[in-house]
Structures are given as structure tokens and as C-alpha cells.
Amino acid sequence: MTYHDSAQGRTAPLGAAPPLCSSTYTNALFHDVLPFWEQYSLDREVGGYFTCLTREGQVFDTDKFIWLQARQVWMYSFLYRVVAQRPEWLQVAQLGAGFLLKHGRDENKDWYFSVRRNGRPLVAAYNIFSDCFATMALAEYAAAAALSEHTGLGLNSGAVPGSGRTPGAGPSADEARTVALETYRRILPRRENPKGRFTKQVPEGRPLHAMALPMIGVNMAMVVQAALGNEAFSDIDLDPEQEITANVERVLGLHLDRQAQRLFERVGPNGTHPDCMDGRLLNPGHACEVLWMIMEAGDQLGRRDWIDTATEALLWTVEHGWDRQFGGLYYYQDAQGFPPEKLEADMKLWWVHAEAIYAFAAAYEYTGSEQHKHWLERLHTYSWERFADPDYGEWFGYLTRQGLPSNGLKGGKWKGCFHLPRALLKTGARLQRLEKAGILS
């Protein structure tokens, strides 16, 4: 039977945006987005998660992508540790953590990119990003599992919500912590050549630094520190404050061009901008994401200068990245306005807008600026009118430039239970503080 994509053929937005308030975000998270993933993504037979989901939640591919497996483990472990110790959240995290430890690594302890439903390897570990997401997932899971000792939830039951089956015992807190730190340790010497033997570029050709590496470096250090504490870093001979600082300063010192008012995705070794498509590449979503990470790092380490720089750069990013004809943020841009190399450049993606909303909620709390409030409102309205699906829940992943669903996909090879729920949770918390302070009503 051929599947009919009910999202195609739409000619108008899906509906009016709800109010910009904390309850909009928390209600969407707990009563819409999380229930969608809990209903459709859990593989109750063999563990792990299905992520290739149609608009209605039908699984259209059972392969499992390690980035997305790890991200969902992180999400549910974080919810358990930070929001509430609900047994069902830990059970969802356990389902993925057990699958990762059983099937996620090769014989060299490098993490695969993808495996089949049963865990049989499909795509090799061709860069360090699977390793990075696994590190964060297992560190957060270890913290959640340790907390569970005080709740009476048995980790070894393997129970899965809605099922009497046991796909495998969940890892202990100690086991997850050990693998998380072992993986972190193995990442460190690979950072300058993250793809190793899979690198296609000729080394002496045109060396470029990708912003994705310092961005995930900041995030990974902060996640592991929050989950496992500073003592975990002594096990891998790393100073968390120095690690965070080095990565933030690499972004601000190399990738941020204050004169051009651009945050470049790739730069030359000294922050130069080679006049080529790679050297001119802009990614507004990545820019918004790394800038809120820098704000949070600045808050944690008392670096107001980082916060001030990030909040200013955030305005540059959206002022240049906003589609003035149809609204929304472009996926990719060329810094000089040439046609971007990537054919999907003018599409509007869920994660770009989710990250931008949270970045502006954070910036507004830090600055109280009307400019940041204006963009928060603008992004909120566009995103809720265009991405949210009132009929089947969750958000559409990919819109055309005109802001209509390109297809009904709710999950796939790159879209899982991560960017949207994380943004909803963090934005809801920021807005709640603004409401309590009387700044937002």
C-alpha cells in the first residue's frame, strides 16, 4: 500500500500562534511532543528508538542512527535529573542506553553512525560526532541512574512503558559513567582530525576549521560537568573551565567577524575567510545554537563579556539570516550573497527556529533589550504558525522557502527527540523567570 503524505499540497499556514508565555512551551513539551515520541519511537522488541516517523507517527525505516539514539537518551535522562524523577522517563532513557552500550561501538570502541534495527552495523564511525553525543548521553544517563537509587526504580528490570517485554537490562550508573569518560578521553586527541582516515580533503589543499567542533566542545564539557561534576574531569586529565574557555574563545576569536557582523561556519587557520563557497558559508541555526551555549557558559563562569558579545552577534545573525520576502530563517547562506552550494539552503528547518527561539529567550533575559524581545516574538509567531502540527502533534521538520511543509516527516535520519524538546524545556524555564520578574506578561 502506497503511503499518502497528507502534509503536501497545503497552501496556507496551519493556524494562529499561541501566546508567547511559559505555559505554551511547557504544555507543548509535556502534552504534545514527548507523548508523540513515547507513543511512536520506542522499540519495545529489541531496545533503542525508531526515529523515521511520518506525520502520523508511522515508522517508515527501522534503521537506528547513533546521533539520534544518544540524543534521545540524553533528553529523557536530563528530564529525569532536572525536572522530575518520573520512573517512565528513566525507563525510556534506559531503553536507549542499553542499546547503545550493546550495539553502538566497533571493536576499536569508536561509535558507529548507524546500525540496523537489531544493532547490526551499517555505517562506520566516520567522525567523532557520534562519540560526542554518546558521551553526553551516557554522562547524563549515569547521573539519572544514580538518582534512581533513591527512588526505588530498579535499573535491571528493563521494563518499557506500555510493554511486558524486557529488551535487555539497562546499564548501571557506574557502567554508563565509565563508558562516557572513556569515550570523552578518546575524543580529545582526534579533535584536530575528526574524520581520521575518512577525511576527503587533501591536507595541504585548503585547511579550514569547522565551527561544529568548538561548539560541541563547549556543550560536551558543560553537559558532563553538570551531570558528573568536576571530579569526572580528573579521570580524563582535563580542566572543565579551561576546556569551556578554549572552545568559546575559538568561536569568538576565529569564527566571529565583528567587522563583517557574521559568524562563519568555516574559517581559515587564523580566522581568515577564503573566497570560496566553503569559506563564505553561513548557517544561522548553528550560529544561534552556539551563541546561546556561549551565553550559558558566560553565566556559569562569570564572563559577562561573552554574554554581551553573544547577544550582539545574535542580532547580526537573524538580521542577515531572515527571509524578508517569506519570513523565517534560511538554512544556509553565502556571506557575499552568491548562490549557496547547498540546494536546501532556502528551506526553513525546525531545529534552526527552535534554537533561535531559545537563544532569544536567553538573550532577552540577559539584556532586557527591546530588540531581543522583538525577534523573540517574531520567531515565536512564525514558528508556531508554520511548524506546529495541530492535527497529529509535534512539529514538521522541513518547510519550503514559502513556509509550507515540504513533507510530513516528524522524524528521520537527522530529526529526532532532541532539538525541539530541549528548546521547549529551556525556553519555558526562561519565560517563566521573565514572567515572575514582571518583565513578560
SS3 of 177-228: the string is: HHHHHHHHHHHHHHCCCCCHHHCCCCCCCCCCEECHHHHHHHHHHHHHHHHH
Amino acid sitting at position 204: E
For residue 160 the three cell numbers come to 518499557
Q: What's the pLDDT score for residue 154?
A: 53
Residue 359 clears pLDDT 80, i.e. is over it: yes
176: enclosing H helix or E strand: helix 173-187
As a whole number, mean pLDDT of residues 99-127 equals 96
Question: Rounded mean pLDDT of 49-72?
Answer: 99
pLDDT band of 292, cuts 50, 70, 90: very high
Identify the CA nearest to 268 among candidates 211, 202, 345. 211
Distances (CA, A) of 332 to 124, 266, 352, 435: 27, 12, 10, 34
What is the chain's mean pLDDT, rounded? Answer: 94
Mean pLDDT, rounded, for 187-195: 85
- pLDDT of 42: 99
pLDDT in tens, 214-258: 999 999 999 999 999 999 999 999 999 999 999 999 999 999 999
pTM: 0.95
Residue among 314, 316, 317, 352 nearest 331 (CA): 352
pLDDT at 173 over 60: yes
Per CATH, 15-44+208-441 and 46-192 having the same topology is answered yes
427-431 LR contacts (CB < 8 Å, sep 24+):
427/25, 427/357, 427/358, 427/361, 428/22, 428/23, 428/24, 428/25, 428/26, 428/29, 429/22, 430/358, 430/361, 430/362, 430/364, 430/365, 431/20, 431/21, 431/22, 431/25, 431/361
Q: Which residues contact 375 (CB under 8 A, 6 or more apart)?
A: 315, 318, 360
Q: What is the pLDDT of residue 197?
A: 72
CATH topology of domain 15-44+208-441: Glycosyltransferase (1.50.10)
In the CATH hierarchy, which top-level class contains the domain 46-192?
Answer: mainly alpha
CA gap 99, 167 in Å, rounded: 9
pLDDT band for position 164 (cuts 50, 70, 90) = very low
Is residue 206's pLDDT more than 80? Answer: yes
Q: Which residue has the cell 574531569?
A: 233
Using CA atoms, how far apart are residues 69 and 133, in angstroms rounded to an integer?
A: 9
For cell 508556531, what's the residue?
384
Q: Where are the domains of the chain?
A: 15-44+208-441, 46-192
Cα 194 from Cα 224, distance rounded (Å) = 20
**Cβ pair 361, 430 in contact under 8 A:** yes
Where do we find the cell 534495527? 117
pLDDT in tens, 317-346: 999 999 999 999 999 999 999 999 999 999
Q: Are 210 and 136 in contact (CB under 8 A)?
A: no
For the chain, percent of residues with pLDDT exceeding 90: 86
